[in-house]
Amino acid sequence: MTQLFTNARLVLPDEGEPRSGTLLIEDDRILEVGDSAATETKAQIDCKGRILAPGIVDLGVFAIDKPAFHFGGITRAALMPDQAPVLDLPAMIKHNAVEGKPDLWSHPIAAATKGLEGMQIAEIGLMKRSGAKAVATGREWIANSSLMLKILQYCKSLDLPLLVHSEDASLTDGAVATESETATRLGLSSATAAAETISIARDIALVRETGAHVHFRQVTTADGLDIIRAAKSEGLSVTCGITPAHLLLSDIAISDFRTFTRLSPPLRSEDNRLACIAAVKDGTIDVIASGHDPRGVEDKRLPYA
């Protein structure tokens, strides 16, 4: 089947802004892109000036929200293991893999530890056999370095990337904001941004030891990004991501105790925000993901702590 999309704003890989043009496809293959693609096909779709882009892959969401994904152009989503129940069994992987098909593909990520409790390695091999394409530590950092080393060795042998959350819990325990003048003025419990740096440095040392692929799901500090750059220049198999909130907002946004700015990791300083934007530009940050974790208003209109 041949289709011609006309009057579209095309998103192309080598151009920063969408440009007007046409797109000719046959079955699942793009035949021609440009201002004057062949027009002999009878099946023409007028895009009426809308953006036409490849389906977006959202790496690391906490809920499959089919209407929201459809509206945003998302066709595939990697589902984090932080579900109820946790995705730590082959049956759970199989069950969540069929959600939303055929127009939305869910790719469940296997839990690295049973119940995501950071105590015992989950059945990673069996979950891969059931369709898991990656493993994740969930919303928590695994503090036990010996356990983390074993998980990375398993992931390396199974050729599975490991998605990690980068916050040293011993430093962030009870904190709701980044240590800063803003947090002090508001009287909020806070933690040093070095909690991220320390956790990244530890995990990269273990990547160097095992050769495993680690994806740092959210890197939000200049120091953390510098460590990632150095690891990449060394040839280590590391990638990293960020969510839009940390590109658009600094910790100043929490000034009115607006609980919609309560995030994990918390919002950082303006200098760190600008460093994150620079890291997107120079390719240090590989992925921008939504981190989609919808909560009802009753969960958010609460005291900030």
Two structure tokens written together for 100: 């939303």
Answer whether residue 35 shows pLDDT above 90: no
Phi, psi for residue 136 in degrees, rounded to 5: -145, 150
User: Hey, is 167 helix, strand or coil?
Assistant: coil
Q: How confident is the model at residue 265 (pLDDT cuts 50, 70, 90)?
A: very high
Query: Which residues of the chain does CATH 2.30.40.10 include?
Result: 2-51
List the Cα angle 7/48/50 in 5-degree steps.
Answer: 90
**C-beta neighbour count of 209 within 10 angstroms:** 11
Of 253, 248, 260, 274, residue with least CA distance to 304:
260
For residue 83, the model assigns a pLDDT of: 95
CATH topology of domain 2-51: Urease, subunit C; domain 1 (2.30.40)
Instruction: Tell me which of 2.30.29.30, 3.20.20.80, 3.40.50.2300, 3.20.20.140 is the CATH number of domain 55-300.
Output: 3.20.20.140
Detail the DSSP E strand segments found in the chain.
Answer: 2-10, 19-26, 29-34, 44-46, 51-52, 56-61, 74-79, 105-108, 110-111, 135-136, 162-164, 177-178, 190-191, 214-216, 238-242, 287-288
Q: How confident is the model at residue 294 (pLDDT cuts 50, 70, 90)?
A: confident
Q: How confident is the model at residue 78 (pLDDT cuts 50, 70, 90)?
A: very high
Q: Is residue 179 within 8 Å of residue 191, measured between CB atoms?
A: yes
Query: Which residues of the chain does CATH 3.20.20.140 include?
Result: 55-300
Answer whether residue 229 shows pLDDT above 80: yes
Answer whether residue 37 shows pLDDT above 60: no
pTM for the whole structure: 0.90
Q: What residues form DSSP beta bridges with 56? A: 74
